[in-house]
Amino acid sequence: MSTALNDYTASYSALALPGQDLPWLQQLRADAYTQFASDGFPSPREEEWRYTNVSALEKKAFTPLLAAARAVDADFIKSYQLADAYSLVLVDGYFSAELSLLADLPDTVQILSMADALQTCPEQVAVYFGKAVTSNEHGFIAFNNAWFTDGVFVHIPALCVLDKPIQCLHIVTQDGGLATTRNLLVLAENAAAQWLETFVGADVGYLSAAVTEAFVGQNSELTVYKVQCESAKAYHFGGLYIQQARDARCTHHNFAFGGLLARSDIHTDLDQAAECELNGLYLGVKRQHLDNHTRINHLKPYGISRETYKGVLDGRARGVFQGRVIVAEDAQLTDSQMNNRNLLLSADAEADTKPQLEIYADDVKCGHGVTVGQLEEKSVFYLQSRGVDEETARNMLTFAFANEMVDKVNLPLLKTLLVQLVLQHFPQNSYVD
């Protein structure tokens, strides 16, 4: 065992983790623990982590937080909580019934904490748990498997079209704290739902390590919004692993604004004629490091994938985009397009972009494009020639570049919040539409 990991492993046995009485989960946790204790967090030697070094997490250990009633600033939560949504709140890694708002939830829809689900419907959880991602993926998954304290379990039955989005709001309150959560999201056939995950925290250093597995049933439709607004000192790992059944549609909007170091994994496996659209916007300032890793796995014929990621990087910020598209031998007539565009606002900002197409089928349409650049001077001049001063022109163009991704959001209240967050991120912006 690496001594640097002692700080994590030493406190492990003291944690009252849910599902202790379930042999399958105990085995899964034990295997994951052994793997993590030996290998630790991912290393830049791993190809899919080559641009992101998380060794700081081993040098400065974060302490798993125990379930406790903690005062949470209600106004702070409200500023991120979407009105008109089913709202789930996870505080320091534990579901908070009192902060969550589940009134009017249709009887057929199950939304409960992961700890409750492991008590009341463990067979249901067992069908899905660990089926979209395993510890073999990388150290954060092993860590999450072993350490997760709570999370939510959502089941949308067949033919149910949920009227309101479900928001899962993660909040970490303690300096040096560690919040490890695990969600399971299941849509049966011909269902539709919108899932919004928001990550926030107090203005302290902490580690949020969240994993969500999502199963989108045949001909179902899932729209996911991820809004990552962790504190400027926080470390964030958030992984979403999706299984799309035949004809299932999934759209993901990934907004990475916060954190000192933040990594998102969005991986999806597509069955026949499944479609996915992955959109992302990462805005980095100061010394932020924002890594977005996507994997689209076309397993069967007729799949469609569209991916657009944009980054705006200022100061000494570093943005990483790794987009992997795999087209299996069986996945003929796949149609896939990937695009990553980066705007560097300072000489010290950096963008690392790595599109990867792995095509094993012979009759497919796949394309990708990548750009890294500055604002176009001819655009700045064009606006100036119409009377707009240079600074406003630059802000207008920067905002317009980012806002293209916000514009794809279909929830008006969320869109308003995102516009505010984009403007806050570049405080010199005076431009508001």
Partner 1 sequence: MLSIKDLTVNVNDKKILKGINLEVKAGKIHAIMGPNGSGKSTLSHILSGKSGYEVTGGSVTYQGKDLLEMPPEIRAREGVFLAFQYPVEIPGVSNVYLLKAALNAVRKHNGLDEVDAMDFLTLVKAKVKALEMDEKFLYRAVNEGFSGGEKKRNEILQMAMLEPKLCILDETDSGLDIDALKIVADGVNSLRSPDRSFIMVTHYQRLLDYIKPDFVHVLAHGQIIKSGGPELALELEEKGYGWLEEAAA
Task: Give the gyration radius of the chain's Cα atoms.
Answer: 21
* Closest CB to partner 1 among residues 164, 306: 306
Question: Shortest gap between Cβ of 399 and partner 1 (angstroms)?
Answer: 8
Q: Does position 433 bind partner 1 by CB under 8 A?
A: yes
73-92 residues in contact with partner 1 (CB under 8 A) are none
List of residues 6+ apart from 293 with CB closer than 8 A: 48, 263, 264, 265, 266, 267, 320, 322, 324
Residues 362-421 that bind partner 1 (CB under 8 A): 376-379, 381-390, 392-393, 396-397, 399-401, 403-404, 407
Residue tagged 């849910």 (tokens): 18
Residues numbered 275 to 334 that lie near partner 1 (CB under 8 A) are none
Q: Which is nearer to partner 1, 219 or 384 (CB)?
A: 384
- SS3 per-residue string spanning the chain: CCHHHHHHHHCHHHCCCCCCCCHHHHHHHHHHHHHHHHHCCCCCCCHHHCCCCCCHHHHCCCEECCCCCCCCCHHHHHHHCCCCCEEEEEECCEECCCCCECCCCCCCCEEEEHHHHHHHCHHHHHHHCCCCCCCCCCHHHHHHHHHCCECEEEEECCCCECCCCEEEEEEECCCCEEEEEEEEEEECCCCEEEEEEEEEECCCCCEEEEEEEEEECCCCEEEEEEEECCCCCCEEEEEEEEEECCCCEEEEEEEECCCCEEEEEEEEEECCCCEEEEEEEEEECCCCEEEEEEEEEECCCCCEEEEEEEEEECCCCEEEEEEEEEECCCCCCCEEEEEEEEEECCCCCEEEEEEEEEECCCCCEEEEEEEEECCCHHHHHHHHCCCCCHHHHHHHHHHHHHHHHHCCCCCHHHHHHHHHHHHHHCCCCCCCC
- Residue 302 beta carbon to partner 1: minimum distance, rounded to whole angstroms: 29
Nearer Cβ to partner 1 (45/378):
378
CB of 372 to partner 1, least distance (A): 17
Q: How far is the CB of 384 from partner 1 (least distance, A)?
A: 4
Is the CB of residue 62 less than 8 Å from the CB of residue 177?
yes
Read off the tokens for 292.
């977005």
| Nearest-approach distance from CB 398 to partner 1, in angstroms | 10
CB 321 within 8 A of CB 290: no
CB closer to partner 1 out of 360 and 381: 381
CB of 366 to partner 1, least distance (A): 24
Residue among 148 and 399 whose Cβ is closer to partner 1 = 399
Q: Which is nearer to partner 1, 128 or 426 (CB)?
A: 426
Q: What is the Cα–Cα distance from 290 to 293, expressed in whole angstroms?
A: 10
- Total binding residues toward partner 1, as defined by CB under 8 A: 25
Based on CB atoms, which residue is closest to partner 1, 363 or 433? 433
* Structure tokens belonging to residue 173: 């309150």
> Closer to partner 1 at the Cβ: 46 or 376?
376
- Least distance to partner 1 from the beta carbon of 355, Å? 21
What does the angle CA 278 – CA 393 – CA 309 come to, to the nearest 5 degrees? 10
* Least distance CB 388 / partner 1 (angstroms): 6
When the beta carbons of 123 and 377 are compared against partner 1, the nearer one is 377
Of 78 and 378, the one with the shorter C-beta distance to partner 1 is 378
Here's the x/- map for partner 1, 16-55, by CB under 8 A: it reads as ----------------------------------------
Least gap, CB of 403 to partner 1 (angstroms): 6
* Smallest distance from partner 1 to CB 312, Å: 12
CB of 371: closest distance to partner 1 in angstroms? Answer: 13
Beta carbon nearer to partner 1, 362 or 377: 377
For partner 1, the binding residues (CB under 8 A) are: 376-379, 381-390, 392-393, 396-397, 399-401, 403-404, 407, 433
